[in-house]
Amino acid sequence: MTANRKQNGDILLRGGKVVNVFTLEIEEADVAIAGGMITGLYRRDTASPAPGSYGQVIDLQGAFVTPGLIDAHIHIESTLLTPPAFAGAVVPHGTTAVIADPHEIANVLGVDGVWAFARMAERLPLDVYIMVPSCVPATPLETSGAVLDAEAVAQMMDDIPGAIGLAEVMNVPAVLAGDDDLLQKITAARLRALPVDGHAPGLKEEALQAYISAGVTSDHESVTAEEAWEKLRRGMRLLIREGSAAQNLADLISCIVPATQENISFCSDDRHPADLLREGHMNAILRKAVSLGVAPALAVKLATVTAARHYRLPRVGAVAPGYRADLAVFSDLTAFQTQAVFKGGQMVASAGKLCEKAGDARTYADRPCFGEGSVHLPPIAGRLAPAYDRDAEVRVIVIQPNQIVTGQEIIPAAHIGPAKDILPVAVVERHGKSGAIGCGLLRGFGLRRGAVASTVAHDSHNLIVVGVDDAEMAFACETLAEMGGGMVAVAGGRVLAALPLPVAGLMSDEDAATVARRLASLHQTVRDLGCTLAAPMMTLSFLALPVIPELKLTDQGLVDVNRFSLVPVLC
């Protein structure tokens, strides 16, 4: 790729192959850009504009031009990065826009947290469109750092720049029961003609139809083709998720057919920084989709214009006249390695690197909204492991590898211990509210010694800890409190590895490479302690989410998600 430059700001991209997301054709065409917008496409078998009339002419040498990629649903905080650091990681891979649900920081800091997030997301080479959090807390079965009622949610829809809809409605039982506050939030979005994201794992038949009738328009929680097809048949938009913990693309690939393609988009939901740096972001999903048999142009469509249409983003998502010049240039349509990325007609990344540093988090938000000192623990000594008799039967959370859903088992208490991979797990309220501690038992984490703890614990982000005994678990909790939040692995009274997350106990103030390096060290340490999971910290973080089946743990205790009620450890 070569460039010739003159003084005026107009750009001509010559010699490329344009992916047309309207017709799914690949066109050999030059792309003209002026004032940040695409002004024309000129097929090379017709008259092209004179190169001399452009300030910059870039020869793409046969590379492929696509719209800038759009992630249809992501929680940026779950990357452990602030929005500027996140932009630095994903823009070089071709992403130019994300639909972000900042309910992680909202659960810790409330409205102030969402505003801080919005300010951090300003002036980036990435459009961060905000879906206003709908369920803070996600359920009444946990203690969050804040509560967002219908009035607060409606106010944010009106006031926060970049707010484009209502984020995933996770409290399905409340919707089905006609909860007034939650239905008011959905109504507020509908009155403003804004989309309403859903969260409906396993929901079907009459319950699914009632949920859709309440006003929910999309869902990203399908894990089987049967589930996804039912949602598509009932008019929902299907967001196919391929993240670090939940990887559903292969199981849902059969849903991508001509009749459904306008109603499907790709999303990542949650992605770890090492995966972003090593594999990419939306381009990694494109790579996998094509490897599974999806036509390249169709895959690009599902990562661009279908999301733009659903979320009503004006003039983005296509390479066409009158559309914003948010573009990705790929060397091919199989590996999807980026050569260049344009945002508003300006080259913002080249050869996989940002042209300008995205900026440090503290440039974009003032310190009072940063949430330092967000870990306030109650007394924990002797409270982290459940009590039981050796001849009793106990209920156990069972991890499902590469999924955020869990199972449950009833086993003899005599099996508890590292030898049988049955470990104590606890969720400690860390917002200084209730001081509650929920205790349970966990199979599938694999620790043989020590303890692992994190203040990233969806969605209320209390402190979650798993270990071989109460003493190791307590030391891990105390270490996190001293750090001000983060992730830690300990053994024998020593800190073996740690990742500080000073921004609300959720995000680092470092760049993606630094966070990825420290997280990799932490993961290796956790594996050295016996864990065999591919993404142990992300898996741990979802064990506290009581809206994903089947058995989860909050600060209030074990939650049977299917029954939406607390259940005892002892059976």
What pLDDT is recorded for position 3?
Answer: 54
Domain map (residue ranges) of the chain: 67-280+293-316, 393-566
Q: Find, among 529, 569, 565, 542, the residue nearest to 424 by Cα.
A: 569
Tokens of 562: 């299917």
- Between strands 327-330 and 451-454, the pairing is unpaired
Q: Quick one: pLDDT at residue 401?
A: 83
Q: CB–CB of 237/310 below 8 Å?
A: yes
Contact 81, 507 (CB under 8 A): yes
pLDDT of 248 reads 94
DSSP 471: H
Q: Which pLDDT score, from 0 to 100, does residue 72 have?
A: 99
Single out the residue of 564, 561, 558, 160 nearest to residue 386, CA to CA.
558
pLDDT in the model for residue 529: 98
pTM of the model: 0.91
Are 296 and 334 in contact by the 8 Å Cβ rule? The answer is: yes
Is residue 114 within a helix (H) or strand (E), and if so which, with residue range?
helix 103-120
What pLDDT, on a 0 to 100 scale, did the predictor assign at position 44? Answer: 79
Token output for 34: 């002026």
Residue 169, strand partner residues: 198
Q: What is the pLDDT along the chain (571 residues), one digit of tens a residue?
A: 655 544 455 899 999 999 999 999 999 999 999 999 999 999 877 766 666 678 899 999 999 999 999 999 999 999 999 999 999 999 999 999 999 999 999 999 999 999 999 998 998 999 999 999 999 998 899 999 999 999 999 999 999 988 999 999 999 999 999 999 999 999 999 999 999 999 999 999 999 999 999 999 999 999 999 999 999 999 999 999 999 878 999 999 999 999 999 999 999 998 989 999 999 999 999 999 999 999 999 999 999 999 999 999 999 999 999 999 999 999 999 999 999 999 999 999 999 999 865 554 444 444 334 667 899 999 999 999 999 998 999 999 999 987 888 999 999 999 999 999 999 999 999 999 999 999 999 999 999 999 999 999 998 999 999 999 999 999 999 999 999 999 999 999 999 999 999 999 999 999 999 999 999 999 999 999 999 998 899 899 999 999 889 999 999 999 999 999 999 999 9
Q: Are 460 and 144 a contacting pair, CB within 8 Å? A: yes
In the Cβ-directed half-sphere of 376, how many Cα atoms lie within 13 Å?
13
Tokens standing for residue 265: 């988009």
Counting Cβ atoms within 10 Å, is residue 447 exposed (0-12), middle (13-18) or buried (19+)? buried
Q: Using CB atoms within 10 A of its CB, is residue 161 exposed (0-12), middle (13-18) or buried (19+)?
A: exposed
- The two structure tokens encoding residue 360: 């440090």
CA torsion sign, 359 to 84 to 543 to 559? positive
Q: Helix (H, G, I), strand (E, B), or coil: what is residue 540? A: helix
Task: Specify the CATH class of 67-280+293-316 in words.
Answer: alpha beta
Reduced to 3 states, what is the DSSP secondary structure of residue 74?
Answer: strand
DSSP letter for 349, please.
E
CA pseudo-torsion sign 284, 288, 291, 293: negative
